[in-house]
Amino acid sequence: MAHTGGNLSGNMQPPPPSGGRFSVDMQSLPSLSNLPSPLQIFQMVRNSLRPWVVFFNINNFKTAISMQRLNSRVIRNLSYFQANYVFIFFVLMIYCLYNLKHHGSLHSAGHPGFRFWLP
């Protein structure tokens, strides 16, 4: 390994102590009044959905030549179908919350999906 010479001395000052362990500049955060409502978010996602026929078209599935091509394809797919993935996430979240409410605790002995976890 080659030795590189040079002067590495400097005058570094630690940052000034903050008020707490995790200090946050409240002025830099966006105002909560500027955030869209859940209904507005739902409408934005719904309006930007791509056609489900295109989303589920398995004829577009091909093997990637390299990891770089696979990575770029995944990023492009997530970007193009972002609203579809968000919609699926919300549907699954509502389904899970519904089942949790109507079936009680997921770890109860009566829940058929978790019987294999119980002794």
**pLDDT at position 118:** 45
pLDDT of 100 over the 60 cut:
yes
pLDDT of 86 over the 70 cut:
yes
What does the pLDDT look like over 20-42, one tens digit per residue?
A: 555 556 566 666 677 888 888 87
**pLDDT at position 42:** 79
**pLDDT at position 119:** 45
**pLDDT at position 46:** 83
Contact by Cβ (8 Å): 110, 103 = yes
**pLDDT at position 45:** 82
* 98 or 101, greater pLDDT: 98
